[in-house]
Homo-oligomer: A and B are copies of this chain.
């Protein structure tokens, strides 16, 4: 099944306790595409880069089944650039530089062939840009998922709520869920958010796993304890890409498939953080993915205690 995704394709300069990398490839749509392409193709990617973005990286994405007809290349401009430094515990980070460049006036224009997607993953971007993508669709997708961040809650509250209302599944982290709902308890936050439009909510808790709320039930996917978290950049996008790629592959939106999908998302994210940028994702074989998912099964499996 086809998956349409919109989001950034960018350069990142990243510093963590394990080192520093300069102007490596990044961006939500890049991470989503890499993870999703392990499960389904085509991934129709809508984004914008400058003339400075390496041709080699674009070719690599295409080799995975990522269709770049919707990627605008602005030859005389520069790609979006982000620089950040993670705290030693990896749970927080400081943004050092944000150069919007080509992203400043990004208008996502969908090629005709991308207007009838089966599945849609709206990567974190201005809610208005996310909405512009939905407005161009000519057929109702089977599932529309959306990521966002606290920044849009601060500066674009009204458009954010309008966009959230249009999606089936919302993916946010725990702090964002608290800010969006005004509730501290994640259970109460989920109840409030599920009244805003989405039928399904995923709350990501980073190294503490992820919660899935659908109907009145809650499911928990653990994070795999890792020896070394080298670079958390892109983990949330990789989670989203793995989840949506898996759902598109299964193409049956049962409650159980959503549970499995967030396990798969967690597994993909656990790879992403093991190296800088997309290095680890580039190494993945199908067998490595299968083995990692098995590790997640073992991590939480137990017999009935009573």
Contact = CB atoms under 8 A, between A and B. Distances in A.
A194 to B, nearest CB: 14
Contacts of A92: none
A246 interface: yes
Contacts of A297: 302, 304
A202 to B, nearest CB: 13
Nearest to A225: B187
A167 to B, nearest CB: 22
A305 B208 contact: no
Interface in A170-184: 184
Contact of A222 (B220, B227, B228): B220
Nearest to A183: B227
A306 interface: yes
Interface string A249-280: 00000001001110110000000000000000
Given A302-B256, A302-B260, A303-B256, A188 B218 contact: no
A299 B220 contact: yes
Contacts of A187: 225-227
Given A208-B205, A208-B208, A260-B305, A229 B300 contact: no
A283 interface: no
A217 B298 contact: yes
A197 to B, nearest CB: 21
